Amino acid sequence: MRAQKLLLVVVVLQAAVLLNQWLGAPVSTARGQIPDAGAQQQQVIDQLKDSNQKLDQLIAILQSGKLQVQVCKPDETQKQ
């Protein structure tokens, strides 16, 4: 008797799952952003060009000899 009740519960649950699949809303597909490889590569190229331009400016400053470095003694109040 108990096995029949358990079997009935399982059948009802399976029927509920089937009805949900057939009558329920369709499963939505992933709607995330589709990566645009060409645009991503163009962004990387633009960033590399910007970095190269900044490095060229640094190299020009270093090669000109106009860079001055000053060394300061650390403050006595900032001892660790």
pLDDT tens column, 10-25: 999 998 888 888 887 6
**pLDDT score at 25:** 67
Angle among Cα 22, 23, 25 to the nearest 5 degrees reads 100
pLDDT by residue (tens digit) across 13-60?
998 888 888 887 666 666 666 778 899 999 999 999 999 999 999 999
H-type helices in 1-80, by residue range? 2-23, 37-64
Residue 17 sits at the vertex; the CA angle it makes with 12 and 21, to the nearest 5 degrees, is 145
Q: Which whole-number Å values give the CA distances from 67 to 29, 33, 50, 63, 64, in the listed order?
A: 58, 47, 22, 9, 8
